[in-house]
Amino acid sequence: MLNNIGLPGLLLIAVVVLVLFGRGKISSLMGEVGKGITSFKKGINEGTKELEQDAADAAKDVTPEAEKDKA
C-alpha cells in the first residue's frame, strides 16, 4: 500500500503536516528528535566504554587466589 504513494503523495502529506502544525512546531519537534538521537548515541558510547573498562579491569588480575595469599 505504501509503495504506491510516490513523490506527489509525499509532497501533499508534507504540505498538510506543515499547515496543521505550523513551521515553528515542526522545527521544535525536529530539534527535540535531534537531541534525543544525540543523547541515545552518547548513552551507547558511554555504555560501550563502561563495558570495555569492566573487561579490562577483570583481565588485569589473573593471579590465582592461592598465589595472592602468599604475597
What does the pLDDT look like over 43-69, one tens digit per residue? 999 999 999 988 887 776 666 776 666
What is the C-alpha to C-alpha distance for residues 21 and 52, in angstroms, rounded to an integer? 44
What is the C-alpha to C-alpha distance for residues 53 and 38, in angstroms, rounded to an integer? 22
> What pTM does this model have?
0.53
- Give the helix, strand, coil percentages of the chain, each rounded to 5: 90, 0, 10
What does the pLDDT look like over 31-42, one tens digit per residue? 999 999 999 999
Phi-psi region of 63 (alpha: psi -120 to 50; beta: other; left: phi over 0): beta
